[in-house]
């Protein structure tokens, strides 16, 4: 190897320009990984499962996919609390999320029962039905019972909200169309969740039973349609027991067995 000589004739040690000291590639550092670890990038994944998302306020559904976030919530972000999906703002309003602390509806109810053993009788309703009532009460206050009653009658009779139901909600209860549809959507979700649970009796055929109920609700006789819709409304509002749901299903299914 030939050494360089400076202007005074002195030998100068050779310095390679292949790996200068300011080239981070020569250090073995993962710069991209460090930026991710520092939280500079939002991690987005469609592979975040229910278990990881459940009771984790740092995992939300946004733009159709689950994402890891750290603050900066949007009004339509969805979180999963107690195995139930709901808007982040709703969960905060109900006291289910406080910062990074999550309290499920079941835990909150048990805590209230322990703190007030003489004032908090056991609520036998499924958590989804309890949460629906809490959401409607939060949104409508004293008008909540009238809202549920109006919606329930329309759903059982027509399978949807009637024009009269919309008019009543808007003129008498001061509800916007968006608020009406939001509560209707929450009822759909709560009723479907409770019925799905009631139809699963340990034989793995719960999905088939739900499929049968959906078929009867759409293509059955008028009486069958009203029975199924009635089951769904009662499930959503906590007025249906597992035993009653099982008996009603068996009666509906008997002619087709």
Burial 182-219 (b: 16+ CB within 10 A, else e): bbbebbebbbbbbbbebbeeeeeebeebbebbeebbee
Domain span at residue 60 reads: 50-115
Do 106 and 132 belong together in one domain?
no
Are 138 and 196 part of one and the same domain? Answer: yes
Mean pLDDT calculated for residue range 126-133: 79
- Indicate whether 33 belongs to any domain: no
Residue 120 lies in a domain: no
Give the helix/strand (H/E) hosting 79.
Answer: strand 78-81
Q: Report whether 60 contacts 66 (CB < 8 A).
A: yes
Contact 97, 84 (CB under 8 A): no
Give the chain's domain count.
2
Q: Helix or strand or coil: residue 26?
A: helix
Instruction: Give yes or no: residues 106 and 167 share one domain.
Output: no
149 is a domain residue: yes
168: Cβ–Cβ under 8 A, 6 or more apart, which residues? 150
pLDDT in tens, 240-253: 899 999 999 999 99
Q: What is the dihedral of CA 217, 223, 227, 232, to 10 degrees?
A: 40
Closest Cα to residue 92, out of 118, 69, 73?
73
- The answer to whether residue 9 sits within a structural domain is no
pLDDT tens-digit series, residues 1-45: 555 555 555 555 554 443 444 443 444 555 555 554 554 444 444
């Amino acid at each position: 190897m030939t050494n360089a000589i400076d202007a005074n004739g002195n030998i100068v040690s050779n310095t390679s320009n292949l790996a200068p000291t300011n080239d981070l590639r020569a250090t073995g550092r993962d710069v991209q990984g460090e930026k991710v670890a520092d939280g500079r990038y939002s991690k987005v994944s469609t592979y975040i499962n229910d278990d990881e998302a459940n009771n984790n306020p740092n995992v939300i559904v946004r733009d159709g996919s689950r994402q890891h976030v750290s603050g900066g919530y949007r009004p339509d972000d969805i979180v999963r609390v107690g195995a139930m999906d709901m808007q982040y703002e709703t969960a905060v309003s109900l006291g289910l999320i406080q910062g990074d602390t999550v309290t499920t509806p079941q835990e909150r109810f048990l805590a209230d029962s322990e703190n007030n053993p003489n004032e908090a009788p056991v609520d036998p309703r499924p958590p989804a039905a309890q949460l629906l009532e809490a959401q409607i009460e939060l949104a409508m206050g004293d008008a909540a019972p009238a809202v549920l009653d109006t919606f329930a009658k329309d759903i059982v009779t027509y399978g949807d909200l009637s024009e009269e139901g919309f008019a009543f909600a808007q003129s008498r209860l001061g509800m916007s169309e968006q608020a009406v549809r939001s509560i209707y959507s929450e009822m759909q979700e709560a009723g479907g969740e409770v019925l799905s649970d009631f139809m699963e009796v340990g034989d793995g055929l719960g999905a088939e039973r739900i499929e049968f109920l959906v078929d009867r609700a759409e293509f059955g006789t008028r009486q069958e349609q009203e029975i199924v819709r009635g089951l769904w409304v009662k499930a959503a509002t906590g007025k249906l027991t597992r035993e009653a749901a099982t008996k009603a299903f068996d009666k509906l299914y008997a002619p087709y067995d």
